[in-house]
Amino acid sequence: MTNEIQENHTISPFFIMFPLYVGTVGVGILTYQSKVIEHAGYNAWISVLVAGLGMQIVLGLIYYILSAHRDSPEIITINRTLFRTILGGLFNAGIVSYFFFGAFLKLKVFIEMIQIWLFPTMNILPLSMGMALLIYYAVSGGFRAVIGICVWGAILSLASEIPEVLLAVPFLHPQNIFPLLNHSGGELLLSSKSMALEFLGFETLLLFYPFIRTPEKSRKWAHLTLGFITCLYLMILVLTFMFFSEGQLRHSIWPTIDVVSIFEVPLLQRLEYFFISLWLIKIVAGVSLYVWAACRGMKTAFHFGATYCLIGFLIVMVVLNYFIADHRTIHHISDLYGTIGFYFICAYIPFIAVCVWIRKGLMRRFPGRRQV
């Protein structure tokens, strides 16, 4: 399969930072602190470093898989090459479903946050339809349009996160993080598994890799971005540890917003309203990236028209948003998606890397065969 993507539809290697950041850092950064301390307590900062290191290894495997093909394909083509039509089609259908439900959950959790913090009695149908229109506008413009909104989403979200750190400094209690290293290795690993779920999103690279101009040069930017995200998670986690006692944090559902909500600045009595509003463009960017990946997968694997897939996906998302309103149901779906995502990045990707390695070995031994 040749790479038929025109150069004016591709992005420079540097711009890979924005979709990776937007796809990985979502609403979970507002809630992950109370989850990650469940097993390791306030030693969970070690688990963040372990999870970040593990994700760097997975990212390296993704580049190994994608760079093995001389025409820089996406994972859809690789599945079809490795496993042929039937099994490869099943894998590809699973990948499309994975990204679609990831987009739905990102949208649903953000709308739930708006209901809780801003408008408790608001009808969610007009809001979800309005956001669906924004997502349609972004995705229908093509991959470069999605990257454009990812750039703005990354800038605005960082603009809201950095002041939070500066405003919280006078209220921090460094003694909260002591004693150090009072949990077992097993507890730290369980906490690392919980933290790994917060890194879901960088695997969208599996589908937009061919849209990177000279994609091999993007490797360093991808690793730097993942390192930055690890540092961001670590910084916010340690800040939260020094802000709350462990008992308080275990009962906080939205720790990051709870920190923001105590601050008062001129002209803004409720800073968390401004914080959540800024995140609208960030969430639209993240959902657009996931929806684009699902549409790209459908087009490449099953030859469906991208426009029809986009409209169909958005209609299903709006309908699901309307009928799934119970918080307990959303929580169960999020847990299920997190479990699937964990095995996707920690089992499926290494499995594909091993298959590619075996196939490359066979191709070297039998050079007359067609290569991956």
Digit-coded pLDDT (tens) for 215-268: 889 999 999 999 999 999 999 898 888 888 888 888 888 888 888 777 766 666
| 75-117 and 349-365 helices, crossing angle to 10° | 170
Two tokens at 230? 């690890």
DSSP state of 269: S
Most confident region among 24-33, 265-274, 290-299 by mean pLDDT: 290-299
Q: Residue 108 in contact with residue 329, Cβ under 8 Å? A: no
Give the separation between CA 117 and CA 329, rounded to whole angstroms.
19
Check whether 276 has a pLDDT greater than 90: no
Residue whose structure tokens are 């093509």:
142
Q: Which domains are delineated in the chain?
A: 7-365 (1.20.1740.10)
Digit-coded pLDDT (tens) for 99-131: 999 999 999 999 988 888 888 888 888 989 999
Other Cβ atoms closer than 10 A to 305: 12
Check whether 368 has a pLDDT greater than 60: no
> Taking the model in full, what pTM does it have?
0.92
pLDDT score recorded for residue 372: 45
Please name the residues in contact with 196: beta carbons below 8 A apart, sequence gap of 6 or more.
Answer: 51, 54, 55, 342, 345, 346
- Mean per-residue pLDDT for 33-45? 87
Residue 41 burial (10 A CB sphere; 0-12, 13-18, 19+) = middle
